[in-house]
Amino acid sequence: MAKKLRYGLIGCGGCGVGKHLAAYAKYADDVELYAVYDFEPAKAAAAAEKYGVPHVFDTYEAMLADPKLDVVSVVTPNALHAPITIAALRAGKHVHVEKPIALNADEARAIVAAKDAAGTLVMVALNNRFTEVSQFIKRYVDDGHLGEIYHARCGWRRRRGIPGRGGWFTTKALSGGGPVIDLGVHFFDLTLFFMGFPAPVSVSASTYCKFANAPSGGTGTFAAADAAGTFDVEDFAAGFAKLATGASVAFEFSWASNIEREVNYLELLGTRGGLSMYNGELRLFGEVGGALTDITPHVRNTSGWGDNETRHFIACIRKRRQPMAPPEDAVKMMQIIDGIYASAESGREVRMDAVPA
Ligand SMILES: NC(=O)c1ccc[n+]([C@@H]2O[C@H](COP(=O)([O-])OP(=O)(O)OC[C@H]3O[C@@H](n4cnc5c(N)ncnc54)[C@H](O)[C@@H]3O)[C@@H](O)[C@H]2O)c1
């Protein structure tokens, strides 16, 4: 049997431990949990104890210098994704980096360049691509059932769901932005993934921050202005993007808004058929024998939070295959995100070739 991959986790917070460590621990035939590191030593120690990880490092540089380590997850605040991923690639490691890949397209391009130079693999932790429903949709679209997809809608709207209010999520220098970069990166990505990831051409967007710092506008859970911590990112965004294929995508993302309930969704409009997925419920729309049809496929979702993606990445490393969530797609996603923020700031449509480098 092939040698086990020695695995290390950088960033032992909610997602690092709850998704990455938990998922890699499930594949004990292939993976040896080898090392952990967190900026806060107590978090690394707790993760090591919970999962029986033998090595707790004091710095990520020391961890990456260990030649026994094969693969790392980077699950830190977003601003550290690019520098740590690039350092890991230069140290010859495979990298499973959380979404968003980086703060912007330039950083994402630097990751692709470092990966190409290193010859190791990078996979972005886009777990929504790896659900059974998503895999079904991808096959269904690729088999041509929708015809030409000319328009899509996607969104993830929360009524009340600001993560780590006042902490790194709401501090632009550490997160890169609000729900656009946190939630949008999941469902915009998924929509483009199904559409074959055409290059973006232009984007027009508005962003708002109406809850966090509202001196008098907030009600209920938002009545008290957040005294502690920073909140300099949007809490809602909406807009419209055009793609190189001529197709368009309308989108909206919120951490907080006065709507009935939280929903994540996408709709694909094709010349032969369409589909929608609302909170994971898939419906297919078409015509049979001159009658309109609405089909509900029985696709069970058993992917777990990170199980399918982790199993896939382990297989990619073993077989030296490019992963299904490559950093090259994430460069295009970050171009759109850069464009959303640039458009919101300028009040104009932004063409991708005009997004500031
Ligand atoms: N794919 C998903 O479903 C999903 C869900 C949640 C979070 N995430 C992503 O995971 C990442 C972490 O989010 P989280 O919710 O776990 O946040 P978190 O705040 O719970 O964890 C972040 C961890 O990083 C540590 N850290 C800070 N600076 C560090 C440094 N220099 N080196 C090493 N560790 C450092 C913190 O101490 C903390 O333990 C983010 O990029 C987020 O977007 C993805």
Going from the Cα of 16 to the center of ligand 1, the distance in angstroms, rounded, reads: 6
**Which pLDDT does position 223 carry in this prediction?**
47
Distance of alpha carbon 230 from its chain centroid, rounded?
Answer: 23
Going from the Cα of 339 to the center of ligand 1, the distance in angstroms, rounded, reads: 25
Mean pLDDT of 221-229: 56
Q: Does 292 lie in the same domain as 164?
A: yes
**Which pLDDT does position 1 carry in this prediction?**
61
Does the residue 90 lie in any domain? yes
What pLDDT, in 10s, does the model give residues 33-62?
A: 999 999 999 999 999 999 999 999 999 999
Residue owning the nearest CA to atom 11 of ligand 1: 75
Q: Does 292 lie in the same domain as 168?
A: yes
Q: Does 137 lie in the same domain as 62?
A: no
| pLDDT score of 220 more than 80 | no
Mean pLDDT of 235-260: 97
Q: Which domain holds residue 181?
A: 129-303+334-354
Q: Which of 91, 125, 159 is the last residue of a domain?
A: 125
Q: Which of 125, 160, 178 is the last residue of a domain?
A: 125
Does the residue 324 lie in any domain? no
| pLDDT score of 219 more than 80 | no
Q: Does 111 lie in the same domain as 196?
A: no
Does the residue 314 lie in any domain? no
Number of domain units in the chain: 2
Q: Does 204 lie in the same domain as 117?
A: no
Q: Does 103 lie in the same domain as 160?
A: no
**Which pLDDT does position 124 carry in this prediction?**
98
**Which pLDDT does position 290 carry in this prediction?**
95
Cα distance between residue 356 and residue 350, in whole Å? 10
What pLDDT, in 10s, does the model give residues 70-90?
A: 999 999 999 999 999 999 999
The CATH number given to whatever domain includes residue 63 is: 3.40.50.720
Does the residue 57 lie in any domain? yes
Name residues contacting ligand 1 (CB within 6 A).
Answer: 10-16, 37-40, 43, 60, 75-78, 80, 98-99, 125, 127, 164, 182
